[in-house]
Amino acid sequence: MQPIMSAQAINDFLETDFPQIHTDGRVFTVTSVRPGGLTMTFDPNERHLRPGGTVSGPSMFALADVAAYAAILAHIGPVALAVTTNLNINFLRLPQPSLMSCDCRLLKLGKRLAVVDALLHQGDPDHPVAQATATYSIPPRTE
Amino acid sequence: MQPIMSAQAINDFLETDFPQIHTDGRVFTVTSVRPGGLTMTFDPNERHLRPGGTVSGPSMFALADVAAYAAILAHIGPVALAVTTNLNINFLRLPQPSLMSCDCRLLKLGKRLAVVDALLHQGDPDHPVAQATATYSIPPRTE
Amino acid sequence: MQPIMSAQAINDFLETDFPQIHTDGRVFTVTSVRPGGLTMTFDPNERHLRPGGTVSGPSMFALADVAAYAAILAHIGPVALAVTTNLNINFLRLPQPSLMSCDCRLLKLGKRLAVVDALLHQGDPDHPVAQATATYSIPPRTE
Amino acid sequence: MQPIMSAQAINDFLETDFPQIHTDGRVFTVTSVRPGGLTMTFDPNERHLRPGGTVSGPSMFALADVAAYAAILAHIGPVALAVTTNLNINFLRLPQPSLMSCDCRLLKLGKRLAVVDALLHQGDPDHPVAQATATYSIPPRTE
């Protein structure tokens, strides 16, 4: 599974084609792409925080979903529009109100379905703050 | 399973204790409470919409999570602070950019864990736009 | 969503085409079919029980999976071979070593994906022993 | 997270305390234990196979569940009786009717909840046949 888009190309594509992910600020950035996966960082601002100084659940859901979507994009190119059909997320530890990384790995990249594992952590992947598994339906590609 | 808080009491509690759920506008409202469940409505504004005129995934995640949390609150009162540990969501149909309802049902309300089923629809529960199952950890109650 | 197979027709089809579900005895029976759903019963024998007199997890997984599969079959007929792609199960209460029912409801029956909700109980659906949501990939149908 | 039981000690414990997992033959074996995880193999026999020469879904569910349970046991010892509360499994590829490995990793080992990631493969972890995430409730320990 070789990626066919660079981190920069994915960030540019998200910028132009999915500006809505930047509604609450330019917080999501693909920092590295590798065969079968990528890492996206999330730099939360006050809109993503909760009293007690933690990061909101919907923000972490959004991070897992956008990062997994980007991981698929990186490997099939910006042609097809994948749609999230299922996302299962485990909240493991209370996050700090600071930078969060999401390491994604393609478990399957089929013609019709892709399944991605997403590990959310704040520096130590052995003590993740959340873990998600997401499934995307990939529409038939017209030639 | 008899509720011990009214819809109004839950809305008041969310208003004072969870003002952050209103960050993007006063969009979540408990409209009815019943034994073992409740219904919350979500009135999306432009912050929750996506190009093509649909409702964003993180918004629907937030609706399921807040509604399920409210369903627990309705039955144990505003004393304990339940924490989401797992949420599994299936996106079933593209939603319209209009009012969405979330019908919640307590599948289990134990001393340590509560599990809630949440059905998201736009008028016809037989054609839901999403379905979620969420688990909450309930902290030990001090006497 | 009108079913096109009767309970008897589904049981006959499972008998001839999926004899392996009867490996541990004739324990799974569709008892009723309705628009958008059906009920299957599971009559556990000693192979499905666990010390302490409860029903094994894999048996309950099998019940949810077979019942959800049967619910799809009931509505599209015995032509297509649906494949389980995801199953999320919550174990809610320790079951008794006795008859278990699984009430299934189609949340979505699309051309490519079907999603089914399955509630496992022992007489009182308001106190379920488990709840599952399962997704099936439906292969393209040849004309 | 240092394990406190060896592979042999876990296999012996499962043998004496959970003989029911061997109902269909001695098919599950812990082969290695490491900090934060372990690997269990599953050697399917005809009871676990399906027409077409693949491995049954309930067998893979059982493998993920037993292996994840063993991973917790390895790190807290054979004192507490953890109970599965949620298991989410993605079926990714049709397995061959041959030896299957399950690599488990503890995502969280708390006082009340443990969450384990389980990857099922047949030699190549980059092409898994299934992936599961399971949550266990750990009962209060009496001193």
Q: What is the ipTM of this complex?
A: 0.95
Q: What is the pLDDT of residue B80?
A: 65
Best of D83, D86, D111, D137 to substitute, by most chain B Cβ atoms within 10 angstroms, is D86
Per DSSP, what are the bridge partners of residue A104? A38, A118
Q: 3-state DSSP call for residue B14? A: helix
Confidence category of residue B99, pLDDT binned at 50, 70, 90? very high
Residue among A38, A100, A106, A35 nearest A67 (CA): A38
Q: What is the pLDDT of residue A122?
A: 98
Domain that holds residue B38: 7-137
Q: What is the pLDDT of residue C25?
A: 81
Domain contains A2: no
Residue among C60, C13, C64 nearest C38 (CA): C64
Domain contains B112: yes
Residue among A112, D108, D83 nearest C110 (CA): A112
Contact between A84 and A136 (Cβ < 8 Å): yes
Q: What is the pLDDT of residue C141?
A: 65
pLDDT per residue as tens digits for the range A23-79: 778 899 999 999 999 999 999 998 898 878 899 999 999 999 999 999 999 999 987
Distance, in angstroms, between B108 CA and closest chain C CA?
Answer: 6
Best of A49, A85, A88 to substitute, by most chain B Cβ atoms within 10 angstroms, is A88
Residues 6+ apart with CB under 8 A from C110: C138
Contact between B104 and B75 (Cβ < 8 Å): no
- pTM of the predicted model as reported, rounded to 2 decimal places: 0.96
Which is more confidently placed, D95 or D140? D95
Residue B143 scores a pLDDT above 50 = no
Distance, in angstroms, between B103 CA and closest chain C CA?
Answer: 14
Q: 3-state DSSP call for residue A48? A: helix
Averaged pLDDT for residues B100-114: 97
Contact between A11 and A29 (Cβ < 8 Å): yes
Tokens of B108: 């289990």
Q: 3-state DSSP call for residue C72? A: helix
Q: Which of residues 102-141 of D touch A (CB under 8 A)?
A: 107-108, 115, 117, 126, 128, 131, 133, 135
Tokens of A103: 């390491």
Residue D143 scores a pLDDT above 50 = no
Domain contains B143: no
Comparing A98-102, A131-135, B127-131, C43-47, the range with the smallest average pLDDT is C43-47
Tokens of D85: 């509360």
Backbone angles phi, psi at B20, to 5 degrees: -65, -25
Rounded CA-CA distance D121/D94 in Å is 11
Cross-chain residue pair C87–D85, CB shorter than 8 Å: no
Q: What single letter denotes the amino acid at residue D105?
A: R
CATH number for position A40: 3.10.129.10
Domain contains D26: yes
Contact between C40 and C30 (Cβ < 8 Å): yes
pLDDT more than 70, % of chain A: 97
Which is more confidently placed, D78 or B3? B3
Rounded CA-CA distance B88/C98 in Å is 29
Averaged pLDDT for residues B4-26: 89
Give CA separation, C1 vs A107, B126, C38, C105, C109, in Å. 34, 10, 12, 11, 9
Domain contains A143: no
Q: What is the pLDDT of residue D83?
A: 93
Instruction: Give the helix ranges, DSSP H, for B19-125.
Output: 57-76
Contact between A37 and A103 (Cβ < 8 Å): yes
Q: What single letter denotes the amino acid at residue B31?
A: T
Rounded CA-CA distance B18/B136 in Å is 17
Give how many domains chain B has, as a whole number.
Answer: 1
Distance, in angstroms, between B49 CA and closest chain C CA?
Answer: 23
B with C: how many residue pairs have Cβ under 8 Å apart?
39
Q: What is the pLDDT of residue C30?
A: 98
Q: 3-state DSSP call for residue B132? A: strand
Domain contains C63: yes
Residues 6+ apart with CB under 8 A from D138: D72, D76, D80, D82, D110, D111, D112, D113, D114
Q: What is the pLDDT of residue C80?
A: 65
Specify the residue for token string 């994009």.
A73
Buried b (16+ CB within 10 A) or exposed e, B16-51: eebeebeebeebbebeebeebbbbbbbebeeebbbe
Rounded CA-CA distance D84/D14 in Å is 16
pLDDT per residue as tens digits for the range D94-107: 999 999 999 999 99
Distance, in angstroms, between B16 CA and closest chain C CA?
Answer: 32
pLDDT per residue as tens digits for the range D1-57: 899 999 999 999 999 888 888 877 889 999 999 999 999 999 999 889 887 889 999
List, in sequence order, every beta strand (DSSP E) within B36-143: 37-42, 49-50, 54-55, 83-91, 100-109, 113-121, 130-137
Averaged pLDDT for residues B92-110: 97
Residue D13 burial (CB count, 10 A): 17
Q: What is the pLDDT of residue A50?
A: 84
Residue C2 burial (CB count, 10 A): 8
Specify the residue for token string 């990626």.
A3
Rounded CA-CA distance B65/B82 in Å is 11
End-to-end, the C-alpha distance of chain A in Å comes to: 22
Q: What is the pLDDT of residue B35?
A: 98
- Chain D residues in contact with C61 by the CB 8 A cut-off are 57-58, 61, 87
Best of C107, C131, C135, C137 to substitute, by most chain B Cβ atoms within 10 angstroms, is C107
Q: What is the bridge-based pairing of β-strands B83-91 and A83-91? A: antiparallel
Domain contains B142: no
Averaged pLDDT for residues B2-21: 92
Domain contains C2: no
- Neighbouring chains of A at 3+ CB pairs within 8 Å? B, C, D
Averaged pLDDT for residues D113-138: 97
143 residues of chain C, pLDDT tens digit each: 899 999 999 999 999 888 888 877 889 999 999 999 999 999 999 889 887 889 999 999 999 999 999 999 999 998 768 999 999 999 999 999 999 999 999 999 999 999 999 999 999 999 999 999 999 999 876 54
Residue A134 scores a pLDDT above 70 = yes
Residue C3 burial (CB count, 10 A): 21
